[in-house]
Homo-oligomer: A and B are copies of this chain.
Amino acid sequence: MTARETATPPRRRDAAKTRQLLLDAALQRFTRDGYAATTVRDIADDAGVNVALISRYFKSKEGLFEACLTSSVDEIRRNAEDTPLGRTPEAIARQIARPRTEGLLNHLVLLLRSSGDEGADRIRLGLLRSYGERLAEATGSPPGDDRMLLRAQVVLAAATGIALLRTKSGLEPLASATEEDLVPPLRDLIDALLRDR
Interface of A toward B, CB cutoff 8 Å: 33-37, 112, 114, 116, 121, 124-125, 128-129, 132, 146, 149-151, 153-154, 156-162, 164-166, 168-174, 177, 181-182, 185-186, 188-189, 191-193
Contacts and interface: CB of A to CB of B under 8 A. Distances in A.
Contacts of A157: 158, 161-162, 164-166, 174
A151 B121 CA distance: 32
- Determine chain A's interface SS by DSSP, over half rule: helix
B36 A185 contact: no
Contacts of A154: 158, 162, 174, 182, 185-186, 189
Nearest to A113: B34
Contact of A165 (B36, B128, B166, B169): B128
A169 B37 contact: no
A185 B124 contact: no
Nearest to A164: B112
A114 B168 CA distance: 9
A125 B169 contact: yes
Nearest to A129: B171
A125 B170 CA distance: 7
A125 to B, nearest CB: 6
Contact of A192 (B129, B132, B156, B188): B188
